[in-house]
Amino acid sequence: MGVGCPARPLPQLPTALLDSQRTIPVSSHHILERHHTRVAWTFPSLATGYYWQPVFKEFVKLFKATVIFTDVWSGYVRGCEGKFTVDQRSSHARSPYEQGPRFVWASPSLVPALLRFRPHVVFTSGFHIWTAYLLLFKPFMRWKIILVWDGVSPKLTDSGRRIRLMWRRLIARYFSLCVTNTRQGAEYLIEAVKMKPDRIIQYPYQVPDRLTLCAESSAKAVAGRHPTFLFVGALVYGKGIHKFLEACSLLVRIEVRAFSCTFLGQGPNQQEFQQLADELGLHEHVTWLGPVPYGALGTYYSAHDVLVLPSFGDVWGTIVPEAMLFGKAILCSRHAGAKELVREGENGFVFDPADAHELADYMLRLIWNPEMLTSFGRRSKQIIEPYTPERAAAVFDQTIARALGAAPGATSCANPARTNQ
């Protein structure tokens, strides 16, 4: 649990979210009104938000008058080209490898663009400056503002940052509803930001799409001794890569050599990590493949046995559900929101990223018990199966219905990330 969140049970959330095996009801009137409802999504940056695109693709099937506004856009992934409309504003892009909290600045040109579009509903991706613009014009435009809150990490819940917390408490009261990706995110909004539980919907909406992840082929060879451990992400210290390498070296020291690790990604600390791997005697166990297209990741998930996320602070960690979709065992940091998808001893383990010995121990279990790879992978598929871009779009549809007053009565919230599958 993040710093500043009391360790007590989250109150029952009286939302219209149902469990993952049931349909989400909306009124017939709302279904008819979808064609007339204009929806805006505001993201200061979608530089690495490829995982959002399958959700947008499904969402516009329900709400055709939808525009995604962003300052930083890296282009469509294969299979999503032209499926939804992106309005890119201009601003200074922040490096995706920068670590730590920050106040996100984004172009004020969003305001005239929104005034022209005149949305009925606006999804905003955080407590950033664009949200302030939305709130400023809300009394005049009367749009419904829904917060899309990916979650929190220990860095984002540091109790010492009181000014930012005061800002969040001030503007949170003006959101119609909030959809949060994680249980921990809901706890933070209730306990720290003081949002009312009945305005919060918790559902994992950052979910993978197999066709999108397999849309492109990759010519890079995947070589290594099984079991193979895979890391995907930015090569920066905040991702805990140095501790992952340390864990590997602990295995080598006790003459455990029947394993290999692959690193996909790039970053400012890449050379330092490669040098560290050599110093630890891991040159025969570690392969650095650099960045690959998002649409080619499926090739690498399929070719490996275990996904490792050793991050010191990840709001979610989309690589976890992506790997689960391909039936992989998971070793996940306790500081990543996606740990909520890991069932201890069923599809993986959650570990302290600062403790290389703990990670090495879990790796050793999987090396010595290869049958666990099969059972864990099968369980991963079962857990992630209900969570699809189609269902995420349905959750946002139902949220709009509530915000516009077109949803049926609220029902109690089952926590999808912890339901028994």
Q: Write out 36-92 in H/E/C secondary structure.
A: HCCEEEEEEEECCCHHHHHHHHHHHHHCCCEEEEEEEECCCCCCCCCCCEEEECCCC
Query: Which tokens belong to 280?
Result: 């630890």
pLDDT score at 418: 39
Query: Which tokens belong to 3?
Result: 């710093």
- CA 119 centroid distance within chain: 26
Nearest to 301 by CA among 340, 264, 336, 335: 264
Nearest to 106 by CA among 114, 94, 119: 94
Which phi and psi (to 5°) does residue 399 adopt? -65, -40
Residue 300 contacts residue 83 (beta carbons within 8 Å):
no
Domains of the chain: 28-207+387-418 (3.40.50.2000), 212-384 (3.40.50.2000)
pLDDT score at 18: 39
pLDDT band per the 50, 70, 90 thresholds, residue 5: very low
pLDDT score at 408: 46
Instruction: Determine if the peptide bond prior to 416 is cis (ω within 30°).
Output: no
Q: Which amino acid is at 132?
A: A
pLDDT score at 416: 36
Higher pLDDT, 414 or 305: 305
Mean pLDDT of the chain: 86
| Residue 333 Ramachandran class (φ > 0 left, ψ -120 to 50 alpha, else beta) | beta
Choice among 101-105, 194-198, 310-314 with the minimum mean pLDDT: 101-105
Give the list of residues 6+ apart from residue 364 with CB closer than 8 angstroms, or none: 251, 256
pLDDT digits (tens, 9 = 90+) for 215-271: 988 766 566 789 999 999 999 999 999 999 999 999 999 999 999 999 999 999 999
The structure tokens 């200061």 sit at 44
pLDDT band per the 50, 70, 90 thresholds, residue 158: low
**Cα 206 from Cα 348, distance rounded (Å):** 20
Residue 95 has pLDDT above 50, yes or no: no
Higher pLDDT, 257 or 21: 257
Higher pLDDT, 95 or 274: 274
Alpha-helical segments (H) within 103-192: 110-117, 129-141, 162-172, 183-191
Taken as a whole, the chain contains a residue count of 421
Residue 20 has pLDDT above 60, yes or no: no
pLDDT band per the 50, 70, 90 thresholds, residue 22: very low
pLDDT score at 25: 59
pLDDT digits (tens, 9 = 90+) for 319-375: 999 999 999 999 999 999 999 999 999 999 999 999 999 999 999 999 999 999 999
**Cα 286 from Cα 122, distance rounded (Å):** 45
pLDDT band per the 50, 70, 90 thresholds, residue 96: very low
Residue 397 has pLDDT above 50, yes or no: yes
pLDDT digits (tens, 9 = 90+) for 74-91: 899 999 999 999 999 875
Q: In what order do the strands lie in the sheet with 144-149?
A: 85-88, 66-73, 39-46, 121-124, 144-149, 177-180, 200-202
pLDDT score at 151: 87
Taking the model in full, what pTM does it have?
A: 0.86
Q: In what order do the strands lie in the sheet with 306-309?
A: 286-290, 260-264, 228-232, 306-309, 329-333, 348-351
